[in-house]
């Protein structure tokens, strides 16, 4: 008699596999030579500001500022009063988002339907880079 596998067990296995570390470095490059990925939790974003041409800067709890770059479709970021950021694939709302990963940005609208676009987390800015941002872009 064949064994039945519950859908919950399959989902748990897929979620666990999605969190497994992957080697994204160049061939022959040691792990020590690659910069460590920087992450933030989407539910700990305290502030955000739009930058130039699809850029978004978000400030997380520990005064970390991350730059996200949209892949298009993120119109009206500079007019947004609120937004939601969620990991793009296989994670729950409020999950961790790291540099090099994609996130979904959801913009609520009063007269138009809710808009969602994708953005890639480019980097975490240093204190000097944050200070050098124009004040209109600094979260």
What pLDDT score does 130 carry?
Answer: 96
Confidence class for position 128, pLDDT limits 50, 70, 90:
very high
Does 53 have pLDDT greater than 90?
A: no
CA 123-127-133 angle, to 5 degrees, is 75
Q: Calculate the average pLDDT of the chain.
A: 76
Task: Pick the closest to residue 102 from 90, 114, 115 (CA basis).
Answer: 90
What pLDDT score does 10 carry?
Answer: 40
Residues 6+ positions from 35 with CB-CB distance below 8 Å: none
Q: Left if phi > 0, otherwise alpha if psi is -120 to 50, otherwise beta: which for 76?
A: left
Asked whether the beta carbons of 78 and 136 are under 8 A apart, the reply is: no
Does 121 have pLDDT greater than 90?
A: yes
Whole-model pTM above 0.95? no
Confidence class for position 69, pLDDT limits 50, 70, 90:
very high
């Amino acid at each position: 008699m064949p064994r039945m596998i519950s859908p919950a067990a399959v989902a748990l296995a897929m979620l666990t596999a999605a969190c497994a570390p992957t080697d994204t470095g160049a061939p022959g490059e040691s792990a020590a030579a690659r910069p460590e990925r920087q992450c933030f939790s989407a539910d700990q974003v305290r502030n955000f500001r739009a930058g130039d041409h699809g850029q978004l800067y978000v400030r997380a709890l520990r005064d970390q500022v991350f730059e996200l770059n949209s892949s298009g479709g993120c119109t009206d970021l500079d007019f947004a009063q609120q937004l939601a950021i969620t990991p793009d694939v296989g994670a729950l709302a409020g999950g961790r988002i790291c540099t090099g990963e994609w996130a979904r940005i959801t913009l609520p609208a009063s007269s138009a339907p809710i808009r969602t676009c994708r953005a890639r987390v480019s980097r975490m800015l240093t204190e000097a880079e944050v200070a050098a941002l124009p004040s209109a872009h600094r979260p």
